[in-house]
Structure 1
Amino acid sequence: MIRKLLFLLLFFLPFLSLHAQDVKPLGIALENYDYPFPVNYIQLELQDESLKMAYMDVQAEEANGKTVMLMHGKNFCGAYWRQAAQDLSEAGFRVIIPDQIGFGKSSKPVDLQYTFHLLAQNTKKLLDSLGIENISVLGHSMGGMVATRFVLMYPEMVDKLILENPIGLEDWKVKVPYHAVDYWYEQELKKNYESIKKYQLESYYDGKWDPAYDQWVNILAGWTLSPMYPQVAWNAALTYDMIFTQPVVYEFEHVQAPTLLIIGQRDRTALGKNWVSEEVRETLGDYPALGKATAEKIPDAELVELDNVGHLPHIEAYERFIAPLLSFLKD
């Protein structure tokens, strides 16, 4: 099977786009990909596996005594927080940037039962190891679901919550048919540079592409060229099942921390929207409506709506993202 895959790769290589040819195979834990800040690890014993959780700890030169944690989305890793971490650090904040287990430079388990509770608990262990007792938490995309679960589990630790275009603002399983982990795994194994870029172009940026976005495609595409990619794909499949079956939408009313919602209005991200009729599809991923509804559910919430911005405000419209963030954190 491996020989066949290698043959197909060599056969089609001349026909790949220039950008696809630039993609380099990446190690299972991104060993040959440099992060913007030094990477540290904590050891976790989970479900009979010994795993490493990677994180960056960016110290402020003139500390204000406050700490912010930045939580990545599903198709990303901590590296995409580089500019935000740098500016927060310059503003006096200590910045913690974890890679959740199964993502980025963290371990990819052989077979882990993923839950948002587990990821939140892992994150708590990381903070405990650093002696951090109070923190503001920012979660983007899937990181918003992890951040919400963390805030619900450890309200005494959280000063403020920031949700940047989080997923989980609606319960997809109410409208979308369930697909088992095996299905997700098959889909992950089919991915390549072209399919990954197509998905991000359509779902994240609403058809508006900037060459600066290529680096985030290249990480995922680089994994597909690794002989260890099946293990990466299996973890991706397990986390898709977690996202689909463990919504946080019903618990926003229990969030106690002051909350800032930063919502790009062009975003239409929704899990499984291609499996439903066009009529149903139109009701999914409506972030302008979802942002307003979520702000009403959270007792102490402020909503910032970014017109003409998609799923990644901190990548696509950084200045419009960082200004309300800094204002909220300094308030």
Structure 2
Amino acid sequence: MRTSIFILLVLTLSNFTKAQERPVLDIMLSNYEYPNEVHFLNLESQGQDLRMAYMDVHPQKANGKTVTLLHGKNFNGAYWKTTIDALTKEGYRVIVPDQIGFGKSSKPVGYQFTFQQLAENTKAVLDELNIDNTFLLGHSMGGMLATRFALMYPEVVEKLILENPIGLEDWKLVAPYNSIDDNYQKELAATYESTQKYQLEFYYDNQWKPAYDEWVYLLTGWIEHPEYPTVAMNNAQTSDMIFTQPVLYEFEHIQAPTLLIIGTRDRTAIGKNDVKDKAVRDQMGQYQILGKETQKKIPGSQLVELDNVGHMPHIETFDRFIEPLKKFLRE
């Protein structure tokens, strides 16, 4: 415990000045450069005119295959840079959308966020690009979305890859419900330090690297922007979506060949801190168990376990992540 507090104190002191020196981000991240050119799809959804951002990266020598990458809740398409580079080098065209409410995409007011809606939006991007089938890779929340997409559009998904997906357990069975209003207040109170603390404990098991600072900045750089309350509400709404719309009960219906890439040190579990019973709390987010249980639920699926790796394999240990991914795509 003392070691964790010391690590957090050192990180806070060393990164506070660094965070203060970087520019305040606007809520469309227009003053943040993504690793590849960003395009926009004009999307009419729920009576609103929205813009959905995406990267469409072509290889020098195409192999005729496409990979679509779906980001997690606390991220956007920018964190896929090394994955994009590795896949395009192998000849894959890579599509990387920012979901509505995230990254460079619109932050709508009064939007009803569902995984079905986000899947439909993602399908609209693929339709715009005349992509009829794709390998689909989802990380964290993106794993839940990728699952829903594969269930809705089985004819489109050639293969499915789930990298440390959340939603492998139904948290609402053991954790108390937090309303959108409550989550909104928590989002308004978020700071660089509190966000880093969460990622340090849940994503990286108190093993921080300077490279991880970028993903904290992207999540908190707009806190001082006057329109941040809109982002905070979108964050609260998508938290509610994740908590109340589990996909694990439908894993058995997935038709696509599926690969699970699981960092076994991951302890991510929504609502975990609100569970008063320590024995129950300690059983949540046990990915060394959840990965195996999920493989049994998805017909014919493969499981690659990455020992001593947390929630972010493609960031924390890229080489160990990319090799089984490339192998699965080639099979």
In the superposition, the TM-score normalised over structure 1's length comes to: 0.95
2:296 counterpart of 1:304:
no
SS in structure 2 of the partner of residue 227 of structure 1 = coil
> How far does residue 280 in structure 1 lie from its aligned partner after superposition?
1.0
Counterpart for residue 217 of structure 2: 218
Counterpart for residue 80 of structure 2: 81
2:113 counterpart of 1:114:
yes
In 2, distance between residues paired with 1:224 and 1:271?
22
Quick check: 1:257–1:300 contact (8 Å CA) kept in 2? no
SS in structure 2 of the partner of residue 111 of structure 1 = coil
Quick check: 1:20–1:194 contact (8 Å CA) kept in 2? no
Residue deviations 1:162-189 (CA, integer Å, cap 9, x gap)? 0000001011101111111000000000
Counterpart for residue 322 of structure 1: 322
In 2, distance between residues paired with 1:16 and 1:330?
41
Whichever residue aligns with residue 289 of structure 1, its letter is I
Residue deviations 1:190-237 (CA, integer Å, cap 9, x gap)? 001100100110111010000000000011121112111100000000
Q: How many percent of aligned residue pairs carry the same amino acid? A: 62
> How far does residue 15 in structure 1 lie from its aligned partner after superposition?
11
In 1, distance between residues paired with 2:318 and 2:222?
27
> How far does residue 22 in structure 1 lie from its aligned partner after superposition?
2.8
In 2, distance between residues paired with 1:75 and 1:143?
10
Quick check: 1:138–1:163 contact (8 Å CA) kept in 2? yes
Change (3 A) 1:308 1:61: same
In 2, distance between residues paired with 1:262 and 1:21?
36
Whichever residue aligns with residue 304 of structure 2, its letter is V
Residue deviations 1:73-111 (CA, integer Å, cap 9, x gap)? 000000000010011001000000000000000000011
In 1, distance between residues paired with 2:100 and 2:190?
21
Residue deviations 1:223-262 (CA, integer Å, cap 9, x gap)? 1121111000000000000000000010000000000100
Whichever residue aligns with residue 238 of structure 2, its letter is T
Q: Which sections of structure 1, spanning at least 5 residues, go unmatched?
A: 1-13
In 2, distance between residues paired with 1:65 and 1:289?
37
In 2, distance between residues paired with 1:250 and 1:312?
24
Counterpart for residue 281 of structure 1: 281
In 1, distance between residues paired with 2:290 and 2:96?
27
Quick check: 1:256–1:299 contact (8 Å CA) kept in 2? yes
Counterpart for residue 149 of structure 2: 150
Residue deviations 1:85-139 (CA, integer Å, cap 9, x gap)? 0110010000000000000000000110110000000111110110000101000
Residue deviations 1:264-289 (CA, integer Å, cap 9, x gap)? 01000000101112111011101011
Quick check: 1:24–1:225 contact (8 Å CA) kept in 2? no
> How far does residue 47 in structure 1 lie from its aligned partner after superposition?
1.4
Counterpart for residue 39 of structure 2: 40
In 2, distance between residues paired with 1:310 and 1:236?
23
Q: What RMSD, in angstroms, separates the aligned Cα atoms of the two structures? A: 1.2
Whichever residue aligns with residue 325 of structure 1, its letter is L
> How far does residue 16 in structure 1 lie from its aligned partner after superposition?
8.2
Q: Which moved more, 1:277-286 or 1:113-122?
A: 277-286
Counterpart for residue 313 of structure 2: 313
SS in structure 2 of the partner of residue 18 of structure 1 = helix
Whichever residue aligns with residue 71 of structure 2, its letter is H
> How far does residue 17 in structure 1 lie from its aligned partner after superposition?
2.5
In 2, distance between residues paired with 1:16 and 1:239?
28
Q: Which moved more, 1:292-301 or 1:19-28?
A: 19-28
SS in structure 2 of the partner of residue 169 of structure 1 = coil
Structure 1 segments (4+ residues) deviating >4 Å = none
Residue deviations 1:288-330 (CA, integer Å, cap 9, x gap)? 1100000011002100000010000000000000000000001
Q: Which moved more, 1:312-321 or 1:20-29?
A: 20-29
Counterpart for residue 259 of structure 1: 258
Change (3 A) 1:152 1:15: closer
Q: How does 1:47-62 map to 2 (within 5 A)?
A: 47-62=46-61
In 2, distance between residues paired with 1:233 and 1:23?
20
2:189 counterpart of 1:194:
no
In 1, distance between residues paired with 2:78 and 2:22?
17
Change (3 A) 1:16 1:167: closer
Query: How many residues are aligned here?
Result: 318
Whichever residue aligns with residue 236 of structure 1, its letter is N
Quick check: 1:23–1:221 contact (8 Å CA) kept in 2? no
Q: Which moved more, 1:276-285 or 1:230-239?
A: 276-285
In the superposition, the TM-score normalised over structure 2's length comes to: 0.95
